[in-house]
Every structure is written in C-alpha cells, then in structure tokens.
A and B are shown apart, each in its own frame.
Chain A
C-alpha cells in the first residue's frame, strides 16, 4: 500500500514556468521531507517540515506542510532546466519514527 500519493506523476514544462507538486496521504506524519533524485543517483534532501502549516523557502522552491500534517506541496517558481529530476516526498509516521515512507514520485522535465 502506497501511503503517500504524489501528483502529478509527470510534468513537462518550459523554462520560466511555475509549477506545484502535491503529496497527499490519509495518514498523519510527524515530519515530511522532500527529495530530488537524478538518474543513477541516490535522493538528495531538499527540506524537512515538521510543524502543521509550516512554510519553508529554498530559493525558488517553496514547501508547505498541511495544517493536519497529512499533506504537503512543493512550488517551484520560474523553473529552470537544472530543476529537472524526480521529486519525492517522504514521511515519518507519528507512531513509528524510524521508517521513512516515500511518495509515488513526480518526474519533472524543464525544457530550455
């Protein structure tokens, strides 16, 4: 059972466009992380959000954790070709703090 659903699965956009990736679950998470993964490499942590309603910004990336800590979003402003990659959300359940459950993934392609 995939506990974290991401949408969209695939996204192809032109450089300069904005986009939002969603990560949804029916379960509550004590924290949620966003990763970016490039082909043939391990995922790289972008951000961790822990408080319901929290918003974090990382340059052109804005991350939000839902008030109920069941969902999150990643918004990219003025996408660049270097943003191309697989974006993964991953959550730590409140009742089991040692396992990280990954979302289904969103593959982003930004064309110049």
Chain B
C-alpha cells in the first residue's frame, strides 16, 4: 500500500516559537493532502485541505495565519504552527489522497508546547 511519512514524529518547543511539520507521500503523487488534529482521547478533526500549487482551504474555526500550510510539490505538504502556545499541544496527522481518492494516513506528529 501507499506510504505517507511525517517528520518529526515528536517535537517539544517553547511557547512563542514556530514549528514546522512535514508530510510526504513516499511512493505516489498526491495533489491533495489533509491535515488533522487529534486531542487526547478524541477523534480526528480536519483542520485544512492542502492543494498542490494553490492556497490551502481551512475548516471553520482554524486560523490560517496560525497554521500555515504549504504544498509546494506533489509529494510534500508542510504545516507550520506559528507562535505556538500550550493549547496547540496535540497530535497532528496528515493524509494524502491517491489517484483513486483513497486516503493514506501518516504516523502523526506529537507536538508539546511548554
């Protein structure tokens, strides 16, 4: 099956700093990638849709200036959490859509903001 990787798997940062998370489709091209956030013991909440070569589409309530998404190539999307605060601590998961519209999920990135 298709493989999606995320880097880093874990990151701890100080409040006020910015953190970049990478999502890569390793063996297929993905024109669309999705970013999700998952708080402890909760389900996945869609944050935004990342479209290659165009601006991301954000879900209601998600600040686009705080969560910067860049989808510069068909295999890479990045999520930058700007001026991170402790409430941004969460498990961030990306997925990439294959040609037959099947979504493959990355292993997730655990962000802890001190």
- Contact residues of A with B, CB < 8 Å? 2, 35, 40-45, 48, 88, 90, 97-105, 107
B93 within 8 A of partner (CB)? yes
Known: A42-B93, A107-B41. A101 touches B105 (CB 8 A): no
B54 within 8 A of partner (CB)? no
Question: How many B residues, CB 8 Å from partner?
Answer: 25
- With CB as the reference atom, state the residue of chain B lying closest to A42: B105
Q: Which B18-38 residues have a C-beta within 8 angstroms of A?
A: 32, 34, 36
Q: Give the chain B neighbours of A48 by CB distance below 8 A.
A: 102
- Contact residues of B with A, CB < 8 Å? 4, 6, 32, 34, 36, 41-46, 49, 91, 93, 95, 97, 101-108, 110
13 A-B residue pairs with CB within 8 Å: A41-B108, A42-B107, A45-B102, A88-B43, A88-B44, A90-B44, A97-B101, A100-B103, A102-B36, A102-B43, A102-B45, A102-B46, A104-B43
> Which among A42, A43, A45 has the greatest number of chain B C-beta atoms within 10 A?
A42
- With CB as the reference atom, state the residue of chain A lying closest to B36: A102
Give CA–CA (A99, B32) in the complex, Å.
Answer: 10
Q: Are the CB atoms of A43 and B49 closer together than 8 Å?
A: no
User: Contact check: which of A43, A101, A107 meets B46 at CB < 8 Å?
Assistant: A101
Known: A102-B45, A103-B43. A42 touches B97 (CB 8 A): no
Closest chain B CB from A81 CB (angstroms): 20
Closest chain A CB from B69 CB (angstroms): 15
Closest chain B CB from A58 CB (angstroms): 15
